[in-house]
A and B are shown apart, each in its own frame.
Chain A
Amino acid sequence: QKEVEQNSGPLSVPEGAIASLNCTYSDRGSQSFFWYRQYSGKSPELIMSIYSNGDKEDGRFTAQLNKASQYVSLLIRDSQPSDSATYLCAVETGRRALTFGSGTRLQVQP
């Protein structure tokens, strides 16, 4: 079992719709959770971080964490073509470095 699992996609949504990206992780001791966005040929950039159960909203983005289910999600409201990218879920456990999932490719259709 991979430590951090994501559906590779592509996830295709029409412009203006809500995109829902999901991630599960295997280590119950994980403490910090991150969503990074990566455009093709570019380096990852942080979108959201979340540390406690529940929802965290920042503009059009909402991160959701459920530690009991070992599940993290990212919702993107009013999706725009510029949101088309690969979204990487990353998990931090103890003093270890971040462990990344393989990413979900999102395509927003104009």
Chain B
Amino acid sequence: GAGVSQTPSNKVTEKGKYVELRCDPISGHTALYWYRQSLGQGPEFLIYFQGTGAADDSGLPNDRFFAVRPEGSVSTLKIQRTERGDSAVYLCASRPDSSGGELFFGEGSRLTVL
């Protein structure tokens, strides 16, 4: 596609529920990144994929968070047993590969956990 696409743009859920956030990167971009941004803070790294494999998942805060990219294109961030502290904007970004250069961001998925 023309840009990084994220769905849903807004998600409101109740504490304890399961949530999936989807990211469709720019066509041909093999590197895909997930960040989380809380109000007044910069994006916080969660995980990145080079192709289908997670090259670095050191930013995932705990085992309730998981991400997949089974075919090397679309990625899904999965959050189990959501907590109020998970409320944030989840940003996805991609670039041609992981060797460097500009990250292109999607518009984000705003998650609110009540």
Q: Which residues of A contact B (CB under 8 A)?
A: 4, 6, 8, 31-32, 34, 42-46, 49, 88, 90, 92, 95-103
Q: Which residues of B sit under 8 angstroms from A43, Cβ to Cβ?
A: 91, 105-108
Cross-interface CB contact of A97 among B40, B56, B105, cutoff 8 Å: B56
Of B33, B40, B43, chain A has the most CB atoms within 10 Å of the CB of: B43
A-B contact count (CB 8 A): 49
Interface contact A100-B43, CB-CB below 8 Å: yes
Whether B62 sits at the interface, judged by CB under 8 Å, is no
Q: Which residues of B sit under 8 angstroms from A101, Cβ to Cβ?
A: 42
Whether B12 sits at the interface, judged by CB under 8 Å, is no
Chain B residues bordering chain A, tally (CB within 8 A): 22
Whether B114 sits at the interface, judged by CB under 8 Å, is no
Min Cβ gap B33→A in Å is: 5
**Given known A8-B40, A96-B56, contact A46–B102 (CB-CB < 8 A):** yes
Which secondary structure dominates chain A's binding surface? loop
Q: How far is the CA of A69 from the CA of B45 in the complex (A)?
A: 25
Residue of B nearest to A45 (CB): B105
Q: Which residues of B sit under 8 angstroms from A44, Cβ to Cβ?
A: 43, 91, 105
**Given known A97-B33, A102-B40, contact A32–B107 (CB-CB < 8 A):** no
Q: How far is the CA of A100 from the CA of B41 in the complex (A)?
A: 9
Q: How far is the CA of A4 from the CA of B102 in the complex (A)?
A: 18
**Given known A43-B91, A49-B102, contact A102–B107 (CB-CB < 8 A):** no
Q: How far is the CA of A48 from the CA of B101 in the complex (A)?
A: 11
Q: Which residues of A sit under 8 angstroms from B42, Cβ to Cβ?
A: 4, 6, 88, 100-103
Q: Which residues of A sit under 8 angstroms from B102, Cβ to Cβ?
A: 34, 46, 49
Q: Which residues of A sit under 8 angstroms from B106, Cβ to Cβ?
A: 43
Of residues 85 through 110 on chain B, the ones whose CB sits less than 8 Å from some CB of chain A are 91, 98, 100-103, 105-108
